[in-house]
Structure 1
Amino acid sequence: MKRNLTRIVVLGISLFALNTHAQMNPKVKLEKALSLIQQNYVDPVPDEPIVDAAIKAMLASLDPHSSYMNREEAEAMKQSLTGSFAGIGIQFSMVNDSTFITGVNPDGPAAKAGLKLGDQIISVDGKSIFGKSLKNQEVMQMIRGEKGKAVELDVKRIQQQPLHLSVMRESIAELSINTSYMVDKNTGYISLAVFSQSTRREMDEALKSLKAQGMTKLILDLQSNGGGLVEAAIGVADEFLPKGAEVFYAVTNSGVHDNYMTGGFGQFTDGQLVVLIDESTASSSEILTGALQDWDRAVVIGRRSFGKGLMQMGLSLPDGSVIRLTQARYFTPSGRSIQKPYGNSKTDYFQDFNRRMASGELTDASHIHFPDSLKYKTRKSQRIVYGGGGIMPDKFVPIDTAIYSSWMAKTMNSGLTTKIAFDYVQQQRERLMNTYKDFSSFNKAFEVPAALLDQLYKQAQTIKITLPEAGNQVAQKALCLELKAEIAGQLFIGRGYELQVRNQASKAFTEAMAILNDNKIYNRLLENHSSSAKKNIKTK
C-alpha cells in the first residue's frame, strides 16, 4: 500500500510539472529553446541562421505563400519589382566556359559603345573571366555596378584583334513585357512576363505603338506569368475596363472588405481582346484575368490557372530581412475565390501540375469537374464561370505534350539547343544576315538544316539525354522550333524574337487568332456559356 502511495505521489508531482510547463508563455518557450540549443548542442550555433530557420518554419505552418527572406533575398526581390538596375544593356550566355553576348539592348550603353551579338567578353575591369568556371550570376555582378561609373571590358570578335571598350553604366529597365508586335494589319500581341512598378508605363507605350500601327484587336499573353505587384495588375486592368469597374476585392482576417476599382484612364476599352493563360498563370495575373472575364471584356483561352488567391504584405525587420505574410484573400468581381485548397503539405500544394497531368485535366476538357456550388455569373452577360481554384478559361486548349515532355525539359535545361544555335550563328552570321535582311524574312523562309538537327541528336546522346527516335515527326518539329527560336534570338538585335517564332506553333495562339477572325464565335463566347470548353465541363 505504501509503495502504491509513493507511486501516486510521484505521478502527481510529474503531472503537476507537466501542467506547469503547459502554462509556459510561448514566447518565453521559444527563447528558452534557443538558449538550450546554444548551451547544449555539440557544435557552436550562431544566432542568425537558427533564428532564420525558426522564422521560416513558423511561416511554413501558416500557408504556402507566407515566407521569409533574408537581407540579400529581400534586396534581390526589391530590385526585380522596381524594374531597374545599373548596367550596360546586354544578355549573355556561358558556352564552353566562355562568355558570349547573345542580346544587346538597341538603346543601351553597350550598343552605343559598339558591342555586338556574338562578341566574347574576355575580362571585366581587368579581371579575366575566361576559363574560370564562373556562374552567370557572378559575371552579372561584375558587369553591373554604380550608375555613371564605367566598366572596362576586353572583347574578342571573330577574325579580329581583341578590343578594349569602356562602357558607362546606366539605369537599365528590367522590362515586364517580353515582346509586343503586330501579328497582322489589325491584330496586336503583347506578352507580359511579370507585374512590376514599370508595367503600367510599358503597357501604355506598347498600346500606343500598336494602335498607331492599326491595331483594333489584341492578344494579351499571360501564360507563365507568376504575378508580382497587385497595384500593377490594377493598372493593366485600367487599360481595358471603364472607369469605376471593380477589379477585385480583398477580405482581411477581421472581415474588412477592400474594393479596388479602375480609374478610367485606359487606352483599349473597346477593341476585341483575348487573354491567354495556362497552369502557371498565377496571383496578379489571375486577378487581371478574373476581372476581364467577369466583366465580359475578354475571351480567356488556355487551361485553368494556378490558383493563388492569397495577398501577401511585406513586413520589414530592422536588419533588412522581410516577412511576407498573407494579409487577405482576394475575390473576383463576381465573388469567386481564386485560391485553391492548401490543407495538405507545401510540397503537395506545388505538385498540383503533376496531379492535373495525371488526371487528364491538362489534355482533355472532359476530365474537368466542378460542383454546382462553384458556379458564378459574370457581371454583364450573366455567363456561368467557375471559382474554387484558379481561373477556368472560356475556351480550353490542351497542353502540348511534346513541349512539356520530360525529354524536352532535359534538353532545354541542359542548354544544348542554346549552344548548338549559338555555334551555328557564330559560324554563319554573315551569310545569314546577307540572306535574311530582317526578322520577318527570316521567320518566313528559314528552315533548320537537317545537319543541325542531327547534331542535336548526337550531342544529346553524349550527355545521356534520350530523345524520341529520329523518325518521330512530332519530336523533330518541336526540336526544330526551339532551334529556330534560339537562332532568331541570337541573330537579331531586339526583344522577343524567340517568342514570335514559338507562337507560330502555339495551339493557344492559333486558337486566339481564329476566334479574333470570327466575330460570331467571339461574341458567342462572351454572351453565353455554350463554348466547347464549358460543354465538356461536368457539374455535380
Structure 2
Amino acid sequence: MAGYQKKYLPIFFCVAVALGIYIGSQFNYSNNPTNILGGNSKKEKLNRLIDYIDYEYVDPINTDSIVEVTVNGILENLDPHSVYIPPSELQQVNESMKGDFVGIGISFYNFKDSIAVIQAIPGGPSEKVGIRGGDRIVAADGQPLTGAIVADDSITNQLKGKANTKVALKVKRPGVKGLLDFTVTRAVVPLKSVDASYMATDTLGYIKINRFAESTPQEFEKAILSLKRKGAKELILDLRGNPGGYISAAEQIADQFLKEDKLILFTKNKTGKIENAYATDAGEFEQGKVYVLINENSASASEIVAGALQDNDRGVIVGRRSFGKGLVQREMELGDGSAVRLTIARYYTPTGRSIQRPYADGNKAYYEDYLSRYKNGEMQSVDSITVADSLRYVTPGGKVVYGGGGIIPDVFIPKDTNYEKEAITYALRAGYMSRFIFELIEKRRPYYNSLSLEAFNEEVTISDASIQDFVTYMNRRNLKIRVKDYKNDLKRYLKAVMAQQLFGNTVFEKLINEEDAAIQKIIALSRNE
C-alpha cells in the first residue's frame, strides 16, 4: 500500500509537466571559441569550462550531458515551469501541442512480440482502408515487425513518414486464414484534445477537453455547434485533469462564452508591460448557463478559462481548487534541434488575481503541495482551504474570489479518498485497465468487433469472474486492490474501457460519468433541485 501511494499521488502532476522537464544547448570547441551566450564573463566562464572538460579531462566525458545537467540546475533555480525539450522529444511535444501528426492513424500495443492494433483512429488512413482493432501488423514495406527485438520506437519509425507517402502492410487478422495486404497512404492524423461531447440531459450538453492545443478551438466549436443542434441550452465544460497548453487556445475557448470586449486576462512581464486579452463578438455560447468542472490537476490554460468565466460572473465553477499555475512560457529554439520554454510573464484573471502558488522553497516543495492538500483536509472540505484577506477580490456581480494558489470553486465536490476507490481510479488512469480489457477482448475478438453500440450496451456485462481476473492481473504487477465496496464502480470502469476500444472516447466518458458525483451535482443544479 505504501508503495502504491508514493506512485499514485504525484502521477497526475507528472502529466501537468509532461510537456518537458529539461534544458540544454550545444557548445562547440574551437581554437577561438565563440561565446553564443554573449559577452558576459560569467557566461564565458561556463562556456570555457565545458570546452576544457571536453578536450583536456583525463577520462572520456559526454559533455552534452554535462551541459544539460548544468542548465537544468540553472532552470530549477528560476521556477518550476521553465523547461527544456531535447531534440529527441521536440517533435513529439510539438505534435501534441499542434494537435496532429503524420502517420497511418492507429493506436497499438506491442503485444506478444507483435503490433496489435487497439483501434484505427476514426477518419484516419488505416480506418479508410479497413484496418481494425485486433489486427496484427507483421510487416511494413517488407520489413518484419515481429519478435522480441521490436520496440515502440522502431515501430513508430516504420509507420510514420512524410505525408502522402505509401506504406505496404501485411496484417494477420484473428479468424482469417493467411495474411491480408493493405497499402496505406500516410496523412495528417488529428490528436484530439476534445475527448468527448454528448447530451447529459435533454437540455444540458457536456464537453471534455484534455489539453489546450492549437486545434482545440476548432474542435470545441464543432462540438458546441453539434450540441446546440441537439438542444443544448446549458453546458458542462469538463477541465478536470487538464494540464493546460497554449494561452491563445484558452483565450479562444473563453471567448466562446463571453460577450464582446469582456476582459479574459492580462499579462505582465518583468518591465511591467501589461497586455490585455478581450473577448470578441464571435462567441457561440454567450447566453446559456455554463458549469466548469475543475480539480487539483487542472492547471494553466484550464485556470485561465475558469478564472475568466468566474470573474465575469459567467460560469459556475464546480469541483476542487485547481493546481495554481499563473506563469506564461514562450518556446525558444536553441539551435541544435532542442528548445526551451522559458517563463516570460505572469497572467492575471479579469479581477486582477494571480493564481500562481509560491515556489520560493524549490520544486520539490512546490509539487509536494499536492500532498499537503490531502493532509490538511482540503480534498474533503472547502473550509480547509486557507485564504488570505490580502488576496480577496470581488467580481462585478459581487462574488468574492481569492488569488494566491488556484481557482477556488463556487460549488465544492469532495474527493473520495477511500483506498479502494483510489486504487481503482489509479488502475484506470495509469492504463492497467486498458491492457487488461484488450486481452479480454482478444479472447472473443470477432464477436466484439461485430457489435453495434446498441448491442454492446444491451449484451455486454462485466462478470464477477472478470473482476476476479482483474484483481489477479493487478496482483501480478504488485498492485494490490480490493473491490469489496466498489465492485460496481470497477465493473462500470472496465465496461467503459471496453467501449473506448470498440467505439471511442465519447462512449467511454459517458459511461464513466454515469455515477460521477460532480456531474450528478451539476444535473441537480440545472434542474434547480
Match of 2:162 among 134, 143, 146: 146
Matches within 5 A, 1:15-94: 25-38=41-54, 41-94=57-110
Residues in 1 aligned to 2:485 and 2:258: alpha-carbon distance in whole angstroms = 44
d(CA) in 2 for partners of 1:316, 1:445: 54
Matches within 5 A, 1:220-239: 220-239=237-256
Checking the alignment, whether the CA contact within 8 Å between 1:302 and 1:398 is kept in structure 2 is yes
Q: 2: distance between equivalents of 1:402 and 1:99? A: 37
Deviations 1:193-248 (A, max 9, x none): 11111111111111111111111111111011111110011111111101111110
| TM-score computed with the length of structure 2 as normaliser | 0.87
TM-score (norm: length of structure 1): 0.85
- Mapped contact 2:53–2:63 kept (Cα < 8 A): no
Secondary structure of residue in 2 paired with 1:393: coil
Kindly state the Cα deviation for residue 47 of structure 1 after the two structures are TM-superposed.
Answer: 4.2
How far apart are residue 464 of structure 1 and its match? 2.8
SS of 1:351's equivalent in the other structure is: helix
Task: State the secondary structure of the residue aligned to 1:166.
Answer: strand
Q: What amino acid is aligned across from residue 440 of structure 2 in structure 1?
A: Y
Report the CA distance between 1:412 and its aligned residue: 4.6
Instruction: Encode CA deviations 1:89-136: one digit per residue, 9 max, x unaligned.
Output: 221223333322222233222112111122122222322222325444
**Alpha-carbon distance in 1 for matches of 2:527, 2:457:** 22
Partner of 1:159: 175
- Cα distance in 2 for partners of 1:47, 1:103 equals 43
The answer to whether residue 495 in structure 2 is matched with residue 484 in structure 1 is yes
Partner residue, 1:508: 518
Which residue pairs with 1:319 in the alignment? 336
Match of 1:497 among 507, 512, 520: 507
Aligned counterparts of 2:153 and 2:162: Cα–Cα separation in 1 = 17
- Structure 1 residue 415, shift from structure 2 partner: 4.8
**Corresponding residue number in structure 2 for 1:308:** 325
Q: 1:107 aligns with which of 115, 118, 123?
A: 123
Once the two structures are TM-superposed, the CA of residue 323 in structure 1 deviates from its matched residue by: 2.1
Match of 1:453 in 2: 467
* More deviation, 67-76/413-422: 413-422
Please list the CA deviations of residues 473-532 of structure 1 after superposition, one character each: whole Å capped at 9, or x if unmatched: 22x23322321111111222x3332222111122122212221221xx7xxxxxxxxxxx
Which residue number in structure 2 is paired with residue 525 of structure 1?
Answer: none
**Kept after mapping to 2: 8 A contact 1:315/1:323:** yes
Aligned partner of residue 510 in structure 1, secondary structure: helix
Task: Check whether the contact 1:240–1:270 (CA below 8 A) recurs between aligned residues.
Answer: yes
Count of aligned pairs between the two proteins: 489
Mapped to 2, the partners of 1:287 and 1:460 lie a distance apart of 38
Return the letter of the residue paired with 2:478. K
Report how far residue 277 of structure 1 moved. Answer: 0.5
**What residue identity is the alignment partner of 1:495?**
N
Deviation at 1:427, TM superposition (A): 2.9
* Aligned partners of 1:102 and 1:489 also within 8 Å: no
Q: In 2 relative to 1, CA 343–165 (structure 1 residues): closer, same or farther, beyond 3 Å?
A: same
| Aligned AA (1:56) | N
Equivalent position of 2:480 in the other structure: 466
Question: 1:305 deviation in Å?
Answer: 0.5
What runs of 5+ residues in structure 1 fail to find an aligned partner? 1-23, 522-540
2:521 maps to amino acid: E
1:331 aligns with 2:348: yes
- Amino acid of the structure 1 residue aligned with 2:275: D
Alpha-carbon distance between aligned partners in 1 of 2:189 and 2:287, rounded to the nearest angstrom: 33
Aligned partner of residue 322 in structure 2, secondary structure? coil
CA distance in 1, matches of 2:372, 2:64: 38
Distance in structure 2 (CA, Å) of the matches to 1:430 and 1:424: 12
Q: Could you say what secondary structure the match of 1:504 adopts?
A: helix
**Secondary structure, counterpart of 1:305 in structure 2:** coil
| Paired position in structure 2 for 1:98 | 114
Q: Could you say what secondary structure the match of 2:266 adopts?
A: strand
Partner of 2:139: 123
Q: Rate the CA distance shift 1:34–1:420 in 2: closer, same or farther, 3 A.
A: closer
**Structure 2 CA distance for aligned equivalents of residues 236 and 415 of structure 1:** 29
Counterparts of 2:319 and 2:419, CA distance in 1: 15
Residue identity in the other structure for 1:463: R
Residue type at the aligned position of 1:188: G
Cα offsets for 1:71-102 (capped at 9, x unmatched): 23233222222212112222122333332222
Contact 2:318 2:411 in 1 (8 A): yes
Which residue does the alignment assign to 1:527?
Answer: none
Aligned partner of 2:194: which letter? I
Matches within 5 A, 1:71-470: 71-132=87-148, 134-161=150-177, 162-379=179-396, 381-402=397-418, 407-408=423-424, 411-412=427-428, 415-432=431-448, 437-438=452-453, 442-443=456-457, 446-468=460-482
For residue 37 of structure 1, what is the amino acid of its counterpart? I
User: Equivalents in 2 of 1:28, 1:417: separation in Å?
Assistant: 52
Instruction: Judge conservation of contact 1:195–1:233 (CA < 8 Å) in 2.
Output: yes
- Kept in 2, the 8 Å contact 1:179–1:191? The answer is yes
The alignment's C-alpha RMSD in Å is: 2.3
The structural deviation recorded for 1:432 is 5.0
Contact 1:420 1:456 in 2 (8 A): yes
- In the alignment, the residues of structure 2 paired with residue 413 and residue 261 of structure 1 have an alpha-carbon distance, to the nearest angstrom, of 36
Residues 133 and 419 of structure 1: CA distance in aligned 2, closer, same or farther (over 3 Å): farther
Larger displacement relative to structure 2 (318-327 or 110-119): 318-327
Paired residues of 2:259 and 2:281 also in contact (CA < 8 A): yes
Residues 95, 419 of structure 1: 8 Å contact kept: no
Once the two structures are aligned, what percentage of the paired residues are identical? Answer: 35
Give the partner amino acid of 1:473: D
Residue 45 of structure 1 and its aligned partner are, at CA, apart by 2.9
3-state SS in 2 of match to 1:172? strand
Check conservation: 1:443, 1:501, Cα contact below 8 A.
Answer: no
The superposition leaves residues 401-426 of structure 1 with CA deviations (integer Å, 9 ceiling, x where unpaired) of 25896644664577542233223323
- Report the Cα distance in structure 2 between the residues aligned to 1:404 and 1:54, rounded to whole angstroms: 43
Q: Distance in 2 between matches of 1:359 and 1:445?
A: 45
